[in-house]
């Protein structure tokens, strides 16, 4: 299994490097994005993020981008460039994109609406719904809905969680301090998640992740 995972990661890294090299010419362009170029980039993104950007489960869960807030996508791509967020593959991808292409991709992802992949334990959904809507007052955890919206579809820089892969959410929140907010000179709203990552138990986190993963 380790060999397979390594090969898949190597394949993704190679694709990112090839993508980066081919995109440098685009950076010199006037700023417009042709439909052909946009579709080519969307097809590339589909390699990891799945059909219609619905997410994909391989050696690692790849996040759903479909329906995601455009401001959040733009901010996170910039976070990879500024080393506020760590991911070797996405760092190469983000550096290769022109501002016009970033905007076009973000708008396209926002318009996608595939059904959630599901797969989370359904017996955790009720508990997750309660935490999402009410928080955990005893642990000073606010309702998730206060930032991510009652429908979990996000708002501006606050990401959509509806339909997101539950295992991806668990992995990201568990490793939050190792992957996010890594450049203290350029803080963003990810800092407010630090306290939540410490105060939620693993069971509570799994429950919230299960609940939002089934939302459309």
pLDDT bin (cut points 50, 70, 90) of residue 192 is confident
Which of 143, 149, 115 minimizes the C-alpha distance to 208? 143
* CATH classification (class only), 122-213: mainly alpha
- Alpha-carbon distance of 149 to 151, in angstroms, equals 5
Predicted confidence (pLDDT) per residue in 119-141, tens digit: 999 999 999 999 999 999 999 99
- Alpha-carbon distance of 130 to 133, in angstroms, equals 5
- Alpha-carbon distance of 26 to 210, in angstroms, equals 40
Query: Do residues 49 and 65 make contact, with C-beta atoms less than 8 angstroms apart?
Result: yes
- Alpha-carbon distance of 156 to 73, in angstroms, equals 10
Question: What are the residue ranges spanned by the domains of the chain?
Answer: 2-111, 122-213
The two domains 2-111 and 122-213 share their CATH topology (first three levels equal) = yes
Fold of 2-111: Cytochrome Bc1 Complex; Chain D, domain 2 (1.10.760)
Query: Do residues 44 and 92 make contact, with C-beta atoms less than 8 angstroms apart?
Result: no
What pTM did the predictor assign? 0.84
Predicted confidence (pLDDT) per residue in 65-95, tens digit: 999 999 999 999 999 999 999 998 999 999 9
């Amino acid at each position: 299994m380790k060999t397979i995972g390594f090969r898949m990661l190597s394949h993704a890294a190679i694709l990112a490097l090839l993508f980066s090299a081919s995109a440098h010419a685009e950076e010199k362009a006037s700023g417009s994005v042709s439909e052909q170029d946009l579709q080519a980039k969307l097809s590339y993104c589909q390699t990891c993020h799945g059909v219609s950007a619905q997410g994909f489960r391989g050696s690692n869960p790849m996040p759903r981008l479909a329906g995601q807030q455009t401001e959040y996508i733009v901010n996170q791509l910039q976070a990879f460039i500024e080393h506020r967020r760590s991911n070797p593959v996405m760092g190469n991808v983000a550096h290769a994109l022109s501002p016009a292409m970033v905007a076009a991709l973000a708008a396209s992802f926002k318009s996608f609406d595939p059904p959630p992949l599901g797969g989370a334990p359904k017996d955790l959904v009720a508990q997750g719904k309660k935490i999402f809507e009410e928080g955990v007052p005893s642990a000073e955890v606010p309702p998730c809905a206060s930032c991510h919206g009652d429908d979990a579809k996000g708002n501006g820089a606050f990401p959509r969680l509806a339909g997101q892969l539950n295992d991806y959410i668990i992995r990201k929140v568990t490793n939050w301090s190792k992957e996010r907010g890594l450049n203290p000179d350029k803080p963003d709203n990810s800092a407010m998640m630090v306290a939540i990552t410490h105060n939620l138990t693993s069971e509570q986190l799994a429950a919230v992740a299960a609940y939002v993963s089934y939302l459309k």
